[in-house]
């Protein structure tokens, strides 16, 4: 099963994903990107590639589910997805493409969070005011139609509330 978390910048996707990995035995897909690593990502789960390296891996189908986000390429690979629980973060388009490819083996969860809270979170993680402004503006248009591409929604609150909502959704998913 593949669980995809979809949400605007700063909505809490990474925190929720890390909870699922640490406490619920989920696995990460193989992730690739052409963006520069953040300062706090020296031990990142991403494989950072040049644009040329990325395109070569896409051509040989090592990288799937390719999307462009904030000017960088992102891609994933889900080996043995029918027998492994994966969790990943994607934008709306990536979730839509993954749903078409993986069908019943993939569920998307939208993480909803106020713009004010997201701006605060981005600033606290070290984004500049310019980056925050840019991401908020981009996200307003990117997440307009999110409800058409996700089956579930979490309204971001405290970490404990988000974790509880997530567990409730997983119970529903695995009881289908």
Domains in the chain, number: 2
Give the pLDDT confidence of 18-39 residue by residue, as tens digits.
999 999 999 998 889 999 887 7
Tokens of 28: 């990460």
Last residue of a domain, one of 77, 112, 140: 77
Q: Check whether residue 121 and residue 132 sit in a common domain.
A: yes
Single residue among 77, 105, 140 that ends a domain in this structure: 77
Domain that includes residue 167, residue range: 2-27+84-174
Paired residues of 106 in beta bridges = 2
What are the distances in angstroms from CA 11 to CA 17, 25, 113, 130?
12, 22, 5, 18
Same domain for 34 and 23: no
Domain match, 101 and 161 both = yes
Residue 144: how many other CB atoms lie within 10 Å: 10
Verify that 34 and 97 share a domain, yes or no. Answer: no
Q: Phi/psi class of residue 70: alpha, beta or left (left: φ > 0; alpha: ψ in -120 to 50)?
A: left
- Higher-pLDDT residue of 60 and 164 is 164
Same domain, 140 and 111: yes
pLDDT, one tens digit per residue, over 126-146 is: 999 999 999 999 998 888 778
Domain of residue 119, CATH code: 3.40.50.300
């Amino acid at each position: 099963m593949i669980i995809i978390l979809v949400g605007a910048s700063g909505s809490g996707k990474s925190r929720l994903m890390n909870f699922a990995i640490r406490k619920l035995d989920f696995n990460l897909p193989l992730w690739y990107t052409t963006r520069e690593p953040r300062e706090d990502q020296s031990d990142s789960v991403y494989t950072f590639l040049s644009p040329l390296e990325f395109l070569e891996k896409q051509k040989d189908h090592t990288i799937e589910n390719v999307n462009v986000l904030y000017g960088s390429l992102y891609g994933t690979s889900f080996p043995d997805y029918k027998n492994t629980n994966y969790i990943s973060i994607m934008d709306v388009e990536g979730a839509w493409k993954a749903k078409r490819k993986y069908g019943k083996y993939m569920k998307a969860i939208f993480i909803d969070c106020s713009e004010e809270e997201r701006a605060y979170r981005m600033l606290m993680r070290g984004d500049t005011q310019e980056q925050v402004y840019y991401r908020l503006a981009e996200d307003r248009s990117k997440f307009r139609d999110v409800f058409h591409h996700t089956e579930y929604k979490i309204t971001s609150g405290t970490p404990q509330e988000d974790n509880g909502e997530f567990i409730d959704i997983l119970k529903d998913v695995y009881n289908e």
